[in-house]
């Protein structure tokens, strides 16, 4: 009996870090953190706006029980507020405007009244205050020795349907607090970052008779045409060296996956099934994952670009019509209801390439366009529920989801 117990313990430990296994952390086990506002510039409305953004970010990093009360103090006060005496951590910050109109923030972490970590931040305009909130949460997470949340600093790009055959392409932060429309007028969809620096992106323009892939350089604001194709044209992924695109084109009447070399300007057909092959992404340099109807319904497959071997990767779910991979895990969209021709629930599921475990990540609504963060710690996705679009964040290792509603329009697609 003792040997069996030891084997069971070893089995449990060996799977403890498997993200497909749902680990529910009790909120009470997290250390408490309160935030004290010592700002000396700006009106109460802006002070509260910044406070709420900071609280939201501190919740998303998921390592504290965050006190939500907005309390005011002096930055150099020797003691924390009496309401916060029992808190494990107190974050105190001071916003002030300098002579050039820039927004400055000083912050410090207090433990039992002692300053254990401090840092200063500055941005030229107050309307991008949310990036300071993101940076503070990032730095505190790092100070606490937690795995990186570098994804907090990355920009999100999405297309928003605003009318019949009319869309906007928007760049935002992950929480949608900051939004900048970079393409408007006409019908432009499926934006995709062109490189890791996020200083350019591809998108599909449907303004002419032939769908056309375009490239927009954010520094020069120059737009150039890449390639056109009758029927369908979508850039679904960009290689790590930014030199090869994965395209979906319908040159023979049916959508297929193509690779496109930006140096040689030549494309190569990678799938030739008589049905639908779409939405390909790189798993590594020589392997792609894509959606195919070759089973009679959409499902997730992979292809080795060297051997041409095709493999079914998902064996659970109906109408598995979108996916993302970080190499070790695959997250995919699956229809949860049985009627394919009425309103349905679509949820996201996570599978491991090493085990048979499946973990459902969402519960209601239509959840789609999952995208892994670079480090695989988080998944960004679109949720449509009760006539509202939101961008969601799933913290895999913390078993928490966060939603950020869009104020108007409907998200068509996005990249991270």
Q: What is the pLDDT of residues 384-413, one digit of tens each?
A: 888 888 899 999 888 889 999 888 888 889
Q: In the prediction, which pLDDT does 13 show? A: 40
Helix, strand, coil proportions of the chain in percent (round to 5)?
15, 45, 40
Alpha carbon of 377 to those of 83, 187, 246, 371: distances in Å? Answer: 34, 33, 24, 11
Q: pLDDT category, 18, cuts 50, 70, 90?
A: low
- Residues contacting 374, CB < 8 A, separation 6+: 150, 151, 154
Dump pLDDT digits (tens) for 220-236: 999 999 999 988 999 99
Compute the distance between CA of residue 40 and CA of residue 155 in angstroms, rounded to an integer. 30
> 255-281: buried (b, 16+ CB within 10 Å) or exposed (e) per residue?
bbbbbbebeeeebeebbeeeebbbbbb
For residues 347-362, give the mean pLDDT: 88
Tell me what percent of the residues of the chain surpass a pLDDT of 70. Answer: 92
**Is the sign of the CA dihedral 73, 76, 77, 83 positive or negative?**
positive
Q: Provide DSSP, 164-203.
A: TTEEEEEEE-TTSSSEEEEE-SS-EEEEEESSTT-SEEEE
Q: Which helix (H) or strand (E) holds 404?
A: strand 400-405
Write out the two tokens for 148.
Answer: 């990186």
Dump pLDDT digits (tens) for 142-159: 999 999 999 999 999 999
Write out the two tokens for 50.
Answer: 């910044």
Q: pLDDT category, 376, cuts 50, 70, 90?
A: confident
Tell me what percent of the residues of the chain surpass a pLDDT of 90. Answer: 71
């Amino acid at each position: 009996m003792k040997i069996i117990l030891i084997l069971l313990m070893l089995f449990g430990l060996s799977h403890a870090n498997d993200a497909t296994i749902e680990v529910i952390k009790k909120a009470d086990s997290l250390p408490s953190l309160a935030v004290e506002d010592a700002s000396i510039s700006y009106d109460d409305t802006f002070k509260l706006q910044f406070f709420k953004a900071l609280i939201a970010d501190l919740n998303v990093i998921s390592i504290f029980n965050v006190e939500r009360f907005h309390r005011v103090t002096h930055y150099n006060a020797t003691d924390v507020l009496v309401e916060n005496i029992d808190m494990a951590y107190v974050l105190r910050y001071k916003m002030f405007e300098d002579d050039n109109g820039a927004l400055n923030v000083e912050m410090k972490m207090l433990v039992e009244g002692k300053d254990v970590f401090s840092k200063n931040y500055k941005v030229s305009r107050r309307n991008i205050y949310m990036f300071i909130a993101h940076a503070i949460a990032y730095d505190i997470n790092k100070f606490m020795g937690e795995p990186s949340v570098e994804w907090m600093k990355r920009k999100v790009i999405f297309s928003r349907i605003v009318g019949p055959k009319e869309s906007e392409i928007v760049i935002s932060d992950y929480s949608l607090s900051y939004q900048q429309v970079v393409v408007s007028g006409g019908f432009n969809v499926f934006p995709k970052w062109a490189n890791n620096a996020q200083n350019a992106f591809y998108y599909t323009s449907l303004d002419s008779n032939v769908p056309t892939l375009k490239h927009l350089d954010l520094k020069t604001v120059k737009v150039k045409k890449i390639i056109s194709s009758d029927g369908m044209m979508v850039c679904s992924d960009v290689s790590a060296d930014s030199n090869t695109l994965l395209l979906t084109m319908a040159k023979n009447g049916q959508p297929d996956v193509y690779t496109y070399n930006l140096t040689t300007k030549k494309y190569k057909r990678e799938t030739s099934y008589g049905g639908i092959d779409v939405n390909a992404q790189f798993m590594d340099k020589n392997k792609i994952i894509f959606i195919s109807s070759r089973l009679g319904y959409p499902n997730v497959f992979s292809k080795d670009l060297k051997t041409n071997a095709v493999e079914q990767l998902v064996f659970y779910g109906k109408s598995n019509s979108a996916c993302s991979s970080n190499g070790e895990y695959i997250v995919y969209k699956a229809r949860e209801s049985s009627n394919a021709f009425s309103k349905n629930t679509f949820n996201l599921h996570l599978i491991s390439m090493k085990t048979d475990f499946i973990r459902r990540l969402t519960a209601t609504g239509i959840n789609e366009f999952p995208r892994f963060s670079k480090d695989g710690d988080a998944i960004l996705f679109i949720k449509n529920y009760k006539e509202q679009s939101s961008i969601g964040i799933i913290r895999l290792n913390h078993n928490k989801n966060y939603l950020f509603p869009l104020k108007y329009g409907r998200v068509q697609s996005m990249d991270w």
